[in-house]
Chains A and B, each alone.
Chain A
Amino acid sequence: MKDFKIVFTGPPGAGKTTAITTLSDSRPVVTDVRNTDVNLSKDNTTVGLDFGLIDLGNGQSVRLFGTPGQPRFKFMWRVIATDALGLVILNDNSLPDPLAELGIYLDAYKDVLPATNCVVGVGRMAQRSSPSIDDYSDVLSGRGLMVPVLPVDVRNRDDVLMLVEIVLAQAETRA
């Protein structure tokens, strides 16, 4: 049995908990509590981690970990990402400055990103189409990162599975 670890990170409300819940074959571990931050328009927020499991069916499984989104939980970002096969950065295109949000996570993981399998999933593009996928790619290439960027609906299992498959494919290519 071989386990892979993939970490979902990104800003609050990007859909990390939903993505892991959508994909997990077992009941996910969720550490959401009531949100008291008036600047964040959601009822609950993740403060510890999310965890889910995908059985790949060939004796292999993928362990999915989600980070808390708020920068005050930055200490958890690297703890959770330790020994991960790859990183899925989820973003919310309806945020006021989505590219700046992306930058926060690129900065946080800048030491490991050049050698890490990574994909960026952009949610809520139907609500707001700008910045475009190309704009995201430009930001990434400006940092010397060749990272795929995809529009994603985290409620859609196939969309989220695609992100995981891209990370696994990158890992296979590097091996």
Chain B
Amino acid sequence: MSTNLSSLVDRARVAADAVVGAIGEDSAVVISTADGFDLAHAGARAAEPARLAAMMSSFAAVGAAASEEAAIGVPRCLVVESTQGRLVVRCMQVAGESIVTMLLTDKSVLLGLAWNQLSALERTLSQK
């Protein structure tokens, strides 16, 4: 792991805890590298963060390829809207590193709140 990524791990833990604290224990956050290694996670629903991190990196990469193909720039968010909940994935650049963050919530959480929390998480990660 690069020095940049190592220095992010502590902040990532704090940021993940803060989002789960704001949304509720029935949510989960996994923060990972773009190549699918989890840096930090929080929440009881993040049962297998390593697997989720790998899946979300694939999802983000396919989203980026589709965005490029459609000439709509660089993806910021991808959403999986499912029958019992949703996954909101935010792609971000922090300290020169590509980071993929996943927020898992149930259907009662408004999508806008999820986006808002992920924006706050990105700001936390970006603080030096």
* B interface residues, Cβ below 8 angstroms from A: 1-2, 5, 33-37, 50-51, 54-55, 57-59, 61-62, 64-65, 69, 98
Contact = CB atoms under 8 A, between A and B. Distances in A.
Interface stretch (A72-80, A149-157, A165-173): A72-80
Interface string A22-47: 00000001111111111000000101
B37 A36 contact: yes
Contact of B34 (A29, A34, A73): A34
6 contacts: A31-B64, A33-B34, A45-B35, A68-B58, A72-B36, A75-B51
B37 A76 contact: no
Interface string A1-41: 00000000000000000000000000001111111111000
A35 B98 CA distance: 11
Contacts of A32: 61
Contact of B58 (A29, A30, A31, A37): A31
B58 A73 contact: yes
Contacts of A30: 65
A48 interface: yes
Contact of A33 (B2, B35, B55): B35
Contacts of B50: 72
Interface string A54-88: 00000000000000101011011000000000000
Interface size class of A (residues with CB under 8 A): 20 to 34
Contacts, number: 58
Given A36-B33, A47-B36, A49-B58, 20 more contacts: A30-B65, A31-B62, A31-B64, A31-B65, A33-B35, A33-B61, A33-B98, A35-B35, A36-B1, A36-B2, A38-B1, A45-B35, A47-B57, A47-B58, A47-B61, A72-B36, A72-B51, A72-B54, A73-B58, A75-B51
Contacts of A33: 34-35, 57, 61, 98
A34 B35 contact: yes
Contact of A29 (B54, B55, B65): B65
Interface of A: 29-38, 45, 47-49, 68, 70, 72-73, 75-76
Nearest to A74: B54
Contacts of A31: 58, 61-62, 64-65
What 6 A-B pairs are tightest by C-beta distance, nearest first?
A: A48-B61, A31-B61, A33-B34, A48-B62, A72-B54, A48-B58
Contact of A76 (B5, B33, B58): B58
B120 to A, nearest CB: 25
